[in-house]
Structures are given as C-alpha cells and as structure tokens.
C-alpha cells in the first residue's frame, strides 16, 4: 500500500539498532516559525480548519522536510483532538493556546464522558494515510496524542494554566472523578493511537506535557499509571513492522527510574535531563533490555548564532556519548543486537519565533557530528 | 535591642537541631489570599506602595501570624527589589506579575549595571527592624532575595515569561554579557542580604524561582555558581547568633546532589521532589554533616477539604520520616548534635485563591501529627 522506506534511521534508533548517524526531528517541526506554514494556515482560516483538512494537513506536515533533511515526519495535528471528539469544543484563537468551550468540572460532566466515536477523528487518520502516500517512503511518519493526564488538565481548566488549580482541586478533593476521567481518556487515547497505526503511523508518541506539574506520588498515580494503561492496549506490530512507542513527560527526568519500567521503546527528555545519567539509568547495555532516548536540546539555543548552535548540539550529542555500533544479530531473536541509541530532538516544541535558517544549522550539526562520533 | 526569642523551633530545625514539632511557615504567607492583606494593599494604593511603607509592610508581615500559629515570619517584600534599586523601575499592575520599565537587553545596558547604593533599599531594612520589634520575640524573622539568575531573567524579559526566550538568547548567544550581569547581581544580593541580617533578619532565603527552567549544564553554570557566589559573601553569625541560609530552586530536585555541596544550611524543595530520597541524599546522619530540608506540599492541596488536607500533610511528613531526636551535645562543637530535620512549607507560594480557613487546617495538621511522630 505504501512505498518502501528509504531512510529507516529513526525507526532503527527507536528499536536500539545501529545507525550511521543520530536521527533528528523536532517537536512541532511543522509550525508557525515557517512562513509557508503561516501561509497555509491563513488559507485554512484557523488552526482547526488546517488540522481537519487532509490536503492542508498533508502540506504542512511535509513543509519542514522540504527545507531540512529531517529523519522523521510527524502528522500535523494537536494533542487535544480526543477531548474535542468527546464534544468539548476545541478552538484556537490566533496567538493563544487551545481552549475548550465545555470544560469538565463537576461530577455530572465527568459521568457523561466516554470514549468517543473514532469516526469523529477520521480527519486525523485520513491525514496520516495522505501523508504516508505523499512521503513516498522518504522518512517514517509519527502519530501522537496527549497523555490521559495532559488531556484531563485541559478538559478541566478549559485552557492552559499557570498553576493547574482546577485540575488539582479535582485531583485532591475528588480523586474518584479524576480517576474516572483518566480511565476514559486512557482507553480513548489507546483506541485513537491504534487507529493511527492502522492508518499508517509508523511510530506513536504520547505527549505528557503536564505530567511534570504533579507532585511526587501524584505523578505516579495520576499520570504514569494511565500512560501505562494506554501502552498496554497498543498494538506492537502492524503489517509485520514493529511500531515503536515514545513517551515524553515534560519535567519527567526526576521520575526516569519509574518511567524506565513503562512498556515502551523510547523515552523523551526535556533539557533539564542529563543525557549521560539518563543513558546509565535507562539506555541499557548492548544485547540487554533498555530504552532509546529522545531529546533534549533547549529550543532557545536556536536563537543563538551558527557557531553556538553547533557547540550546543555537540554538548548534547557528547552528553549521550557514542551510540552503540555492534551490528551482530542476536541469535535469540534473529534481530540486530539492541543497545543504547539516541534520537536527537528539542526538549520541547520549537518556538514560533525561531529563525528557519537556524534549524538547518542544527540538523546539519547533528548529522555531521554524529557521523564523526561513530568513526 | 530585640526581645528574646520565644519560639526557636524554626531556627533549630534550620540548624538540624531537635525540636518537639516540625516547624511550618508558608511561602507568600502574607498575601492576597488574606482579606486583611487586600485591605492594607488598597490603603497603600499599589504593591510597591505597600512594600516601601514601613508601617504597612510591618502590618501585613504580621497578619498571617495573627491567624495561624506559624513558626516563622518572612518580611513582606519582593524578590525583585535589587534590580529596582539598580534603576530598572519595578511596578506591579493589579492582577499581573512584576514588570520592569527598563529591561536590560544589550551590551550597553549590561555595562551600566552595578551594585546599587543600598540606601535605595533602606525601606526593606527599616521594615525588617520594625517587624522584629513588632514580633517582640514571638517567632524568628526571615529575610530574602531573588537569586542572581532569577533577577537576570526578569531584568532581561522585563516581566514574567513562559519560555525565557530573551534571557536564554542572551545566555546562549552572549554568555559574556549574562555572566557580567550575574556577577553584579550576586554581589548586590550578597550585600543586600547582609544588610538585612544587620537590620534584624534571623535567617535569609534565596529564591531561585527560575533556576529550574535552565538546561542541565546551564543551571550549574548560570544559576548554581552565582548562588554559591552569594553564599560565600554572607555573614554566618550576627550578635553571636548563627544565621541560617536557605536556598530554594523551583524545579531543582534533579540537581539535589550538586546543590548539597552549597555552603548553606537549608535546601527548599518543590512538590516534585521525593522527601525520602532527598533526605537520603542531603539530610545527613546524626552527628554528621548535611542540610535541613524545607518543603514541599503542593499549594493546590489547600483547595481540598479538611480531611484531604490532613491526609496530604501526613503524606509529606511521613515521606520525610521522623526527624532525629538525639539531644546529646557534640563535644567537638559544644552545640547540640545535628541530624536530619524538616521544615514544613509549600512547594511554591500560596495561591491568592486559597480559602484562609484551610491554612489553619494545614498548620494544625503539621503541628499535631509531627508531635505524634516524635513519640
């Protein structure tokens, strides 16, 4: 159905297999920092108009790949499509973050929540299939969703928040309601990601953007446990291909030890994490179990000059150290021997103010230096 | 000059000495959640009008102590008084955060920065002396400042920020300018805190509110190193009394190991930290070196009901575990034997929306349960 993959570097690194360079993609790589994105958005009229139109969504997904030799594409969409399909009414005012018309703030509203009819998310699956065709095997395509807790935050607050007061009030005063909402969210996210895989997503990522605002203890109970519930329901293979699962908790580096026990292939890290320490804790040894690590440069590095960008890229690559280069086949599995690998990314979404030419410097720096490191 | 101290629980806990209960105070305990605070602020006309008027500042500092049996007072002021004294023009629009009229964004502006004439901060020192008199020995008084990096963030951005883009652009593209600003800030903060100690502050706290937004590596270079520069200049004793120094980096739990090497008596923690782990890493053994720990309940717990507040307080106290109860005198120092101690606090400032009666529940829960734990 789809053309064979020409650049499998990203998928190999997800599976802790050897690659000749460190793959790189950028969270929110299709976005406002690109003038061609802004032009398409203007044509679409609104963010949701853009996300729900298959042709526009395909166009903007591919835009960064026309500029930069990125090693993966990520479908243009939003982390909050699932609660929108639940009927909460997602919108994006220009220059503002997401907003729900019908926030979920009491027992009656929570009781009404259910896993939405996936047909309401058909536009996402159609976009994925369309992008896969348009990519024509150039690089793999990533699908994604917000985590159950991150969805719940927006569902309760109705928008972004500086203190998550309403969500946490529900969490602390009515944990039963929060647990019910998270269970529905988890099952909905799992069904949503499985449908993305059916539609053509070659890897899936769970964005736990607000897990890091939780207290120790609450994070494990209200975010991590429901990420695990999602992961337990995801298909591991599709058409004979393994589908790597990436989990990214912003601010989650404190809980890396517990996150290492998640049933997923890749952990994303923000810039506060020390990659050397994370590799020691999570990366595993050659031939043994472990997870690939994704991250973690500060997106604000992209506001510096080319020399500083290259120096900061080198710091991040050096902090992880050389990925393993053992090309033997594991006789037990018949697969290449797994070992520590790194997928280069930002520690958070790229800023809309980023000069596009600086992204070219970053991508080139990752490719050039990571090839040198393997020699 | 001042009345003898009647409740030295907080100071003893800072010095890792035994106490019969866990002392408790709350960051921003004198603030907008109290109707009497709002009344005084209305009389003063503005936040800075309040902070710069000795009588008003004294009144609002004591207001929470009239309501709750807190174990410490903290002078009513702001973390940004130092850059204001440098001439940056601090103001607070109602319902908004701090704002500087003259942000520092280029080489010329950085070159002009210098340690301000401390006389411009006389209102803070006068307030401290006035509060000490008004306290009449009831509880100790804490003085404070923002950390050099936190001041620099506001000085560059001119206000709060969601991504610290301008500060980090300077950090990554012109680290020389950032280092110069931080050096001036550190020397200014040190002089400011020493003058607060002279005026009557019995402990001092450095609020590194934005240290946690830095990347691993950058935190150590641009925040921690300059906190160390401040600490190295602070007087350890005043009139024969030791002056404990508290360092609180919001989001700093990842770097606890490195922070344990700071020359200070107490480390503050936010709610993401695991107190048991922090105690094991930093708290030290009885008779050995270590630091007291301060924190770390999520302020949003105060939006739940009394039973939940008590349960969450118990979780935090139990996570730290029973403080040491060894009352022997160390023959080497002639001082009581130090050991692991805990000062109860929020993990961040109290929310303006907090119901005041819930604070009474929290303070009582800390006192009651921590007394039980020592039996």
B162-191 residue pLDDT tens: 899 999 999 999 999 999 999 999 999 999
Alpha carbon distance A266, A120 (integer Å): 29
Write out chain A residues lying below 8 Å of B353, CB-based: 165
Q: With CA atoms as reference, report the closest residue to B284 among B271, B265, B305, B307.
A: B265
Which residues of chain B neighbour A346 with C-beta distances below 8 Å? none
Residue B206 is given by DSSP the state E
> What pLDDT, on the 0 to 100 scale, is given for residue A62?
98
Chain B contact for A304 (CB, 8 A cutoff)? yes
pLDDT above 80 for B94: no
- Give ∠ CA A144-A152-A115 in degrees, rounded to 5: 70
CB contact, 8 Å: B216 with chain A? yes
Span B228-242, average pLDDT: 97
**DSSP tag of A32:** T
Is the model's pLDDT at A246 over the cut of 80? yes
From B165, B254, B303, residue closest to A351, measured CB to CB: B165
- A371/B12 Cα distance (integer angstroms): 57
Contact assessment for residue B192 and residue B121, using Cβ atoms and an 8 Å cutoff: yes
Q: Which residues of A touch B218 (CB under 8 A)?
A: 298
* A105: contact with B, CB 8 A cutoff: no
- Provide, as residue numbers in chain B, all residues whose Cβ is less than 8 Å from the Cβ of A301: 168, 172
Q: Does B159 touch chain A (CB under 8 A)?
A: no
CB contact under 8 A, B251 and A253: no
Q: Which long-range contacts (CB under 8 A, 24 or more apart) does A105-114 make?
A: A105/A156, A105/A166, A105/A170, A107/A174, A107/A177, A110/A177, A110/A180, A110/A181, A111/A180, A113/A86, A113/A180, A113/A181, A113/A184, A114/A86, A114/A184
pLDDT the model gives residue A331 = 87
Is it the case that residue B95 has pLDDT exceeding 80?
no
B301/A172 touch (CB, cutoff 8 Å), yes or no: yes
Q: For residue range A99-139, what is the model confidence (pLDDT) as tens digits?
A: 999 999 999 999 999 999 999 999 999 999 999 999 999 99
Strand, helix or coil for residue B68: coil
pLDDT of B328 higher than 80 = yes
Nearest to residue B109, comparing CAs of B177, B25, B192, B194?
A: B177
Which one of B160, B272, B317 would you mutate to disrupt binding with A, by most A Cβ within 10 Å of its Cβ? B272
Comparing alpha-carbon positions, the chain A residue that sits nearest to B276 is A216
A302 in any annotated domain: yes
B298 in contact with chain A, both atoms CB, cutoff 8 A: yes
Q: Are A272 and B219 within 8 A, CB to CB? A: yes
**Residue B329: is its pLDDT beyond 80?**
yes
Of B33, B123, B154, B164, the active-site residue reads B154
Q: What is the pLDDT of residue A96?
A: 78
d(CA A285, CA A262): 18
- Please compute the mean of the pLDDT values over residues A327-352 and round it to a whole number: 94
Of B163, B212, B305, the CB nearest to A300: B163
Residues in chain A with CB shorter than 8 Å from the CB of B164 are 300
Q: Are A127 and A200 in contact (CB under 8 A)?
A: no
Q: Give yes or no for A314 touching B (CB within 8 A).
A: no
Q: Which band of pLDDT confidence, cut at 50, 70 and 90, is reported for residue A1?
A: confident
In a domain, B1, yes or no: no
Positions of E strands within chain B = 73-74, 90-92, 98-100, 141-146, 203-208, 237-238, 241-242, 245-249, 266-268, 292-297, 342-346
Tell me, yes or no, if the pTM score tops 0.90. yes
A320 touches chain B (CB under 8 A): no
B102: confidence class by pLDDT, cuts 50, 70, 90: very high
Alpha carbons within 13 angstroms on the beta-carbon side of residue B144 total 23
In a domain, A129, yes or no: yes
Contact with chain A for residue B25, Cβ under 8 A: no
By Cβ distance, the residue of A169, A216, A272 closest to B274 is A216
Distance (Å, rounded) from C-alpha A363 to C-alpha A350?
A: 13
- What mean pLDDT comes out for the span A13-37? 97
The total of structural domains in chain A comes to 1
- CA A63 to chain B, closest CA, distance in angstroms equals 25
Question: Is the residue at A1 inside a domain?
Answer: no
Taking one residue from A and the other from B, the number of pairs with CB-CB distance under 8 angstroms is 104
CB contact B349 to A (< 8 Å): no
**Stretch A86-103: mean pLDDT:** 90
A217 and B CB contact within 8 Å? yes
Candidate list B41, B138, B310, B369, residue with the active-site label: B41
- A272/B251 Cβ within 8 A: yes
Please write the tens of the pLDDT for every residue from A29-76.
999 999 999 999 999 999 999 999 999 999 999 999 999 999 999 999
Query: Is residue A355 assigned to a domain?
Result: yes
The pLDDT score that the predictor gives to residue A330 is: 87
B338-361 pLDDT, tens per residue? 999 999 999 999 999 999 999 999
Query: B259 with B218: CB under 8 angstroms?
Result: no
Cβ distance of B163 and A253 shorter than 8 Å = no
Residues of A in contact with B253 (CB under 8 A): 254
For residue B97, what pLDDT is reported?
A: 87
Cβ within 8 Å, pair B272-A251: yes
Please say whether the beta carbons of B162 and B202 come within 8 A: no
Does the beta carbon of B305 lie under 8 angstroms from any beta carbon of chain A?
Answer: yes
Q: Which residues of A touch B272 (CB under 8 A)?
A: 212, 214-216, 219, 251, 254
Interatomic CA distance for residues A42 and B129, integer angstroms:
60
What's the complex ipTM? 0.96
Neighbours of B20 (CB within 10 A): 11
Q: Which tens digits make up the pLDDT trace of B55-67?
A: 999 999 999 999 9
Name which of A176, A253, A272 to mutate to probe chain B: the one with the most chain B Cβ atoms within 10 A of its Cβ.
A272
In angstroms, the CA A346 to CA B285 distance is 40
A62 Cβ contact list (under 8 Å, min separation 6): A30, A73, A131, A134, A135
Residues of A annotated as part of the active site: 28, 32, 41, 78, 154
Q: Are A250 and A208 in contact (CB under 8 A)?
A: yes
8 Å CB contact between B344 and B24? yes
Cβ burial, residue A209 (10 Å; 0-12/13-18/19+): buried
CB contacts of A317 in chain B (<8 Å) are none
Token pair 């997904």 is at which residue?
Answer: A61
Q: What is the pLDDT of residue B68?
A: 98
| pLDDT for residue B332 is more than 90 | no
Q: Which of A168, A251, A304 sits opposite B298 (nearest CB)?
A: A168
For residue A2, tell me if it sits in a domain. no
Write the pLDDT tens digit of every residue in A278-292: 999 999 999 999 999
**Domain assignment present for A3:** no
Cα–chain-centroid distance for residue B89? 23
- Chain A residues closer than 8 Å to B351 by CB: 163, 165
- From B259's Cα to the closest Cα of chain A, the distance in A is 15
Mean pLDDT for chain B overall = 97
Q: Which domain holds residue A122?
A: 9-373
CA-nearest of B169, B132, B100 to B3 is B132
**The domain spanning residue B337 has which CATH number?**
3.20.20.210
A372–chain B nearest CA distance, Å: 23
> Nearest Cα to A362, choosing from A319, A275, A320, A303?
A303
At A253, is the secondary structure helix, strand, or coil?
helix
Question: How far is A33 from chain B, CA to nearest CA, in Å?
Answer: 14
Please indicate, yes or no, if residue B270 is contained in any of the structural domains. yes
B138 a catalytic residue: no
The yes-or-no verdict on residue B91 having pLDDT over 80 is yes
Instruction: Answer yes or no: is pLDDT of A94 > 80.
Output: no
Tell whether B347 lies on the interface with A, counting CB pairs under 8 A.
yes
% residues pLDDT > 70 (chain B): 100
Nearest CA in chain A to B274: A216
What does each C-alpha distance from B52 to A126, A195, B64, B74, B95 come to in angstroms?
A: 62, 61, 19, 15, 19
In B, residues 58-87, which contact A (CB 8 Å cutoff)? none
pLDDT in tens, B16-43: 999 999 999 999 999 999 999 999 999 9
| C-beta atoms of A173 and B272 within 8 A | no
Question: For A185-209, what is the mean pLDDT?
Answer: 98
Q: List the structure tokens of B211.
A: 């240290």
B154 has catalytic annotation: yes
Which chain A positions have a beta carbon within 8 Å of B215's beta carbon?
Answer: 271-272, 296-298, 347
By the CB < 8 Å criterion, does A269 face chain B?
A: no
> Nearest residue of B to residue A220 by CA position?
B272
A89-103, A231-245, B107-121, B217-231: which range is least confident on average? A89-103
């Amino acid at each position: 159905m789809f053309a064979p993959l020409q650049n499998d570097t990203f998928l190999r690194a997800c599976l802790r297999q050897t690659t000749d360079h460190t793959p790189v993609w950028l969270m929110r790589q299709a976005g406002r920092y690109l003038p061609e994105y802004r032009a398409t958005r203007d044509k679409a009229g609104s963010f949701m108009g853009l996300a729900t139109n298959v042709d526009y969504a395909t166009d903007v997904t591919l835009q960064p790949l026309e500029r930069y030799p990125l090693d993966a594409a990520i479908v243009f969409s939003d982390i909050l499509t699932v609660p929108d399909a639940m009927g909460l009414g997602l919108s994006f005012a220009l220059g503002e973050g997401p907003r729900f018309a019908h926030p979920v703030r009491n027992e009656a509203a929570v009781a009404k929540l259910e896993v939405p009819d996936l047909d309401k998310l058909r536009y996402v699956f159609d976009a994925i299939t369309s992008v896969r065709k348009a990519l024509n095997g150039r690089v793999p395509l990533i699908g994604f969703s917000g985590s159950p807790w991150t969805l719940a935050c927006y569902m309760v607050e109705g928008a972004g928040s500086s203190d998550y007061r309403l969500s946490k009030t529900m969490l602390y005063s009515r944990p039963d309601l929060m647990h019910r909402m998270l269970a529905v969210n988890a099952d909905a996210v799992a069904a949503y990601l499985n449908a993305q895989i059916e539609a053509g997503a070659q890897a899936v990522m769970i964005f736990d953007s607000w897990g890091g605002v939780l207290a120790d203890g609450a994070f494990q109970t209200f975010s991590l446990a429901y990420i695990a519930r999602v992961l337990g329901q995801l298909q591991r293979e599709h058409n004979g291909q393994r589908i790597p699962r990436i989990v990214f908790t912003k601010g989650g580096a404190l809980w890396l030890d517990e996150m290492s026990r998640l049933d997923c292939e890749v952990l994303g890290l923000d810039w506060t994490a020390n990659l050397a320490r994370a590799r020691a804790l999570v990366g595993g040894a050659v031939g043994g179990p472990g997870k690939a690590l994704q991250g973690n440069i500060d997106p604000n590095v992209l506001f510096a000059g080319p020399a500083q960008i290259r120096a900061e890229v080198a710091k991040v690559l050096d902090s992880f150290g050389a990925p393993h280069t053992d090309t033997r086949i594991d006789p037990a599995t018949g697969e290449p021997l797994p070992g520590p690998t790194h997928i280069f990314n930002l520690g958070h979404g790229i800023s809309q103010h980023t000069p596009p030419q600086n992204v070219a410097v970053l991508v080139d720096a990752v490719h050039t230096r990571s090839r040198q490191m393997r020699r």
